[in-house]
Structure 1
Amino acid sequence: MRQKLTRVLGGVAMLALVAGGAACSSGGDDAASGGDKCGNKIAFFGALTGSSAALGINENNGVKLAVDKYNKENADCKVELVELDSQGSPDQAPQLAQKAIDDPKILGIVGPAYSGESEAAGPLFHEAGLVAITASATRPSLAEQGWKTFFRVVGNDLSQGPAAGTYIKNVMKADRVFVIDDQSAYGAGLADEVKKILGPAVVGTDKVQGEGKQTEFSAVVTKVKAANVKAIFYGGYYQEAGLIRKQLTAAGVTAPLVAGDGVNDPAYITSAGAAAAEGTILTCPCQPATEARGTFVEEFKALNGTDPGTYSDTAYDAANILLAGIKAGKTTREGLLEFVKGYSGEGVAASYKFVEGGELDPAQVKIWAYKVQGGKVVPDQEIPKA
């Protein structure tokens, strides 16, 4: 449990760091280079409709809170939030990225939320010099493309995957595991890291189709049942995970399902049914959002009418990094990019400093395990680093 003083201070630390910076109407480092001080925008890029929307809505609501607070504190020079609904599809990502690029008032992006759409949009943002901070895309290769504009405020699958495998091995003590993935950039990558940790304990593997393209999983259910496993790992997102868990349970398979952060959402329980979902283990390179510092939880609920969900707090922090730069007078894309690159500060979810490739400093990465219990996703334990 964090000390009380830290929790109180954390909620205001983002903007306090730039309190002495140039006010929006008083010039700044970008004034000479043509940056307009007011009327600027940031965008959220992620699924807001479709089968993958729950996670995107969590994040967008966090960004909305950050912008809402900023605008109340800077009423004479507000920032507009633009919502770019990708529906979680890499196919839609390039045109959305271009839409953001074509609006010169958009100085930064929170997102893209998913790894696949990040792969599709990343080259365009890089070429345009438009900084993008993802709150949830964890594919390791995203940081290996040489994109100067890519940053993330969570750990990647090279931290989450081994942690999930370690949990299965050391906490669950499962020596027979079946691994499934949805063939997405995120899901396959996460599954590969889990397989490396578990080694010979993986007695079977299979692939399914994600993005709502498959709803019937009898073939994989038959394979899992025949393998007589003690645990099942799924790399992918909640919509398919819920259906797989439901069909496994209907077939009499009681081995618990373990999955990554793409499944860490109440929508998984809705999809699977509370009884079937009970006991599922979900990992995430994020702390419980309800443990966020300061007054974040209360303010989030007051604005959005619901409790924060997975990545609501990290999206809020990502937005606040961009807003801190704008507050400091970095009102060109070039200026804001340089601000983010050199940023170091406290948020409500973590401490932030970026290293090579835009990765979050590994010292700040934490991996948590969550459990479905009584029809809810509840914190289980922080998984020790290997």
Structure 2
Amino acid sequence: MRMRTVSLALLLILAMVVSACAPAPEPSAPAPAATEAPAADAAATEPPAEEPAAGEAAPAASGTVIKVATQSPLSGPQSVLGTAIKNGAQLALEQNSAKLQEMGFTVELAPFDDQATPDTGVANAKQIVGDPAVLCLVGHLNSGVAIPSSEEYHNAQLAMVSPANTNPLITTRGYPEVNRIVGRDDVQGVVGAEFANTEMGVKSVYILHDKTAYGQGIAEFFRQKAEELGMNVLGFEGTEEQANFDSVLTPILAANPDLVYFGGIYSQGGLILKQMREKGITAQFLGPDGLDSSEMANLAGDYVKDMYFTTTAGPLSLFPKAKQFIADYEARFGEQVQPYAAEGFDAMNICLNGIAAAVEANGGALPSRAQVAAAVRATADYDGITGMKTFNEIGDLTVAQYFVKQVKSSDPAEWGAAEVVKVLDIPAPASN
């Protein structure tokens, strides 16, 4: 095509017109301090930076600052476990970021409070992926928050290492960025049902759940296996109630089951157990890892004695490396180590190792998020506080541990001393 010549004077005139018509750029809002949790309403008021489509290369972060974000409930009734995740991750970053510092980078923690709600988690996720300095994410506590939030991480090619999420959908979507260092509910639910059948002698069960992706999901897996084993499932009921559970407990009293199974979190489970006993329900009580918190004892009092729960987070007494971790954690934060603190520590170390490996593979330069995600997924034989970790092709552990524990004391300070009655090493379910 023939090109036309435009005079220099005309070009200058056009440039002045365009400049006069263009709006003045607005200054960007300052980012929250990386060492402080954002406020609950800290979602960005300006539109987040445009995210790359899935499959496209994400831009590398600029400058020498690298951030690792955390997402977990830091406020509200589930904050005991959520804070434990954040604290464990923080301790790992403080102790183990020296290698990246020697490479010329400053490493910062960016903690976010997801309030155990999907909407807040997704809003935070948008803010996280909008910060190009964030190269990895440790989170979440709740699968119902992690599943929608991880859609944002996937679209931005941001690596996620979950210390607690057990719903199968976390990994079965096949996202290369999404990994977990705990087992899955389609196994944990089966472990619980088999234990109830063979060890507790249960013939009939009434199943409750909290209507979340986690609680209802694991309750479904428990029910399927219970029915397969010949147990009589007398009821399957969901509740979002937070205080008075009389409406769901009255039918249980009439049904008189051998066992009540609750799929959910301790903030409801402790009250359900207490109100069960006060109502005269004598059935045994069993639940999953969401009940694994000393807050169960605070809420249910003496009624926690002899209850059982399954968990993917083993007691630290079983792990040789945990003694120093416990001492360091209690010295740093001045409080008892809660479940998932050690998993938060291991998840952060896997992030840091992945970032360092990506830097080395990139010739010492700052890597892209996609490069970090690939390095994290390649994790093999990581020898952590909670045992050896190797990811398979979809981000599950090749072999995960499952535990059944029985509570022996109503003293919250003795929660960690609950008796381990069964330990199982089970390979990951086959990926589709």
TM-score bracket, shorter-length normalisation: 0.7 to 0.9
* CA deviation after TM superposition for structure 1 residue 228, in Å: 1.4
> Could you tell me which residue of structure 2 aligns to residue 4 of structure 1?
none
RMSD of aligned residue pairs (Cα, Å): 1.9
Q: Give the one of 262, 283, 287 matched to 2:314.
A: 287
> Could you tell me which residue of structure 1 aligns to residue 231 of structure 2?
201
Matched letter for residue 287 of structure 1: G
Deviating runs (4+, > 6 A) in structure 1? none
> Could you tell me which residue of structure 1 aligns to residue 392 of structure 2?
355
Q: Give the one of 187, 208, 221 matched to 1:159.
A: 187
> Could you tell me which residue of structure 2 aligns to residue 334 of structure 1?
370
Gaps of 5+ in 2: 1-58, 360-366, 427-432
Q: Which of 1 and 2 has higher RCO (CA within 8 Å, sep 6+)?
A: 1
* CA deviation after TM superposition for structure 1 residue 332, in Å: 2.6
Task: Give distance in 1, aligned partners of 2:374 and 2:246.
Answer: 51
Q: Is the 8 A contact 2:406 2:421 kept in 1?
A: no
Same amino acid, percent of matched pairs = 26
> Could you tell me which residue of structure 1 aligns to residue 420 of structure 2?
380
Q: Is the 8 A contact 1:368 1:379 kept in 2?
A: no
Q: TM-score, normalised by structure 2?
A: 0.77
1:278 aligns with 2:305: yes
Partner-residue secondary structure (3-state), 1:87: coil
Inter-CA distance 150–50: structure 2 relative to 1 (3 Å threshold): same
Q: Is the 8 A contact 1:177 1:230 kept in 2?
A: yes
Task: Give distance in 2, aligned partners of 1:287 and 1:172.
Answer: 21
Task: Give distance in 2, aligned partners of 1:352 and 1:384.
Answer: 15
Matched letter for residue 360 of structure 1: L
Aligned residues: 349
The 5-angstrom pairing of residues 192-341 of structure 1 reads: 192-199=220-227, 200-210=230-240, 213-272=241-300, 274-294=301-321, 295-330=324-359, 331-341=367-377
Q: Give the one of 58, 77, 86 matched to 1:60.
A: 86
> Could you tell me which residue of structure 2 aligns to residue 175 of structure 1?
203
> What per-residue deviation string (whole Å, max 9, x for no partner) do you get for residues 232-265 of structure 1?
1100111111111111010111222101111110
* CA deviation after TM superposition for structure 1 residue 306, in Å: 2.4
> Could you tell me which residue of structure 2 aligns to residue 5 of structure 1?
none
> What per-residue deviation string (whole Å, max 9, x for no partner) do you get for residues 81-132 of structure 1?
1111001001211110001001111100001221001111111111100011
> Could you tell me which residue of structure 1 aligns to residue 69 of structure 2?
43
Matched letter for residue 308 of structure 1: V
> Could you tell me which residue of structure 1 aligns to residue 43 of structure 2?
none
Task: Give distance in 2, aligned partners of 1:171 and 1:98.
Answer: 46
The 5-angstrom pairing of residues 7-22 of structure 1 reads: none
Q: TM-score, normalised by structure 1?
A: 0.85
Inter-CA distance 190–45: structure 2 relative to 1 (3 Å threshold): same
* CA deviation after TM superposition for structure 1 residue 147, in Å: 2.0
> Could you tell me which residue of structure 2 aligns to residue 104 of structure 1?
132
Q: Which moved more, 1:119-128 or 1:37-46?
A: 37-46
